[in-house]
Amino acid sequence: MEIRTLRYFLAVAREENMTRAAEILHVTQPTLSKQLRSLEEELGTKLFTRHSFSIQLTDKGLLLKNRAEDLVGMADKIEMEFASLDDIRGGDLYLGLAESFQIRYLAKAIQDFKERYPALHYHITSGDTEQIADKLDKGLLDFLVLAELPDARKYGYLAFPEKDVWGLIIPAADPLAAKKKIRSADLKGRPLFCSDQAWGSEIKKWAGNDFSDLILEGSFRLSYNGSIFTKEGLGYLLTFDHLIDTSEASGLVFRPLAPKLETALYLAWKRHQTLSPIAERFLQHLRGTAFVSHPTPLQ
């Protein structure tokens, strides 16, 4: 099975049309059709259901699509790494990021690093730990930013300078907004929004015996989306401070949890994965900057 064939397969899967895919790939339609038939024969299974004007993936085609995206992504990453081996001006960095206001420290570090390596290109994948950790484990990312202590047996890591503070996003007109701090008892019976990951870990530990009386109305991977539902009066969002606009014009307020709940943030990389030259230089840059020396907050 060739990477080129997988690229053909992914183009057809994306376009759901043989003619459009052939045009994008700059090959003839008969050539593309032949490649896909050969792929189905090689795998011994039907990958597409063909209709009059479209093509849809079968269940086994969907499985191959997921695997092919990882394989093609890895092939692209390898090609870029080798292309940049002799380019001391830059290269490609692949980062997976959790949501946090502390990402500003990483952005500042990249800005400084790019002054030394102007040909640097960086590729950002955002999501929760479950989404992006898998990509790091598969070698599709160089670094992962996550909001939980990494497994030191698998990962090397650096701690971010600060910790994220948990609180509740509340509509400004809601009576709950009158409180200066939010305790678990205040949340009993109220519809709450939170990420699944945090709900079953940080929030569960914080709420203690009250957790069984808390109601997870809906889960969100992105806090911004949760804030929209909160603004519409559908519930209250549990999230980090500084992620949501709570200015006077926003119609929302942030109230910290009590007792105080904080989460540390870490930049991690696989211990037994050889970093690309630019990724190795970036790691050394981070080790020698204020990123890990607990500075005063960046302005």
Q: How many helices (H) does the chain have, and how many strands (E)?
A: 10, 11
Residue whose C-alpha is closest to residue 202's, from 265, 296, 269: 265
Q: Are 116 and 27 found together in one domain?
A: no
Do residues 228 and 241 lie in contact, with contact meaning Cβ atoms separated by under 8 Å?
A: no
Q: Are 185 and 248 found together in one domain?
A: yes
**Domain presence at residue 198:** yes
Q: Which of 66, 82, 98 is the C-terminal boundary of a domain?
A: 82
Q: Are 193 and 203 found together in one domain?
A: yes
pLDDT value for 89: 65
Q: Are 219 and 257 found together in one domain?
A: yes
Do residues 178 and 189 lie in contact, with contact meaning Cβ atoms separated by under 8 Å?
A: no
Length of the chain: 299
* 137 pLDDT more than 80: yes
Residue holding tokens 């006077």?
A: 248
- CATH number, domain with residue 204: 3.40.190.10
**Domain presence at residue 140:** yes
Residue 1's pLDDT band, with cuts at 50, 70 and 90, is: confident
Q: Are 168 and 253 found together in one domain?
A: yes
**Domain presence at residue 299:** no
The whole-angstrom separation of Cα 146 and Cα 120 is 23
Quote the number of domains for the chain: 3
Query: Burial level of 238, CB count in 10 A (0-12/13-18/19+)?
Result: buried
Tens-digit pLDDT profile for residues 62-87 = 888 888 888 887 777 677 666 655 55
Q: Are 113 and 258 found together in one domain?
A: no
Q: Are 133 and 7 found together in one domain?
A: no
Tens-digit pLDDT profile for residues 193-251 = 999 989 999 999 999 999 999 999 999 988 999 999 999 999 999 999 999 999 999 99
The whole-angstrom separation of Cα 120 and Cα 84 is 10
Q: Are 150 and 39 found together in one domain?
A: no
pLDDT value for 290: 60
Phi, psi of 250 (to 5 degrees): -75, -25
Range of the domain at 134: 87-162+264-292
Q: Are 288 and 152 found together in one domain?
A: yes
**Domain presence at residue 152:** yes
263-284 as b/e, with b when 16 or more CB fall inside 10 Å? bebbbbbbeebebbbbbebbbe
Q: Are 14 and 136 found together in one domain?
A: no
- For 124, 194, 196, 245, the CA distances from 267, given in Å and listed in that order, are 14, 23, 21, 25
The whole-angstrom separation of Cα 231 and Cα 251 is 7
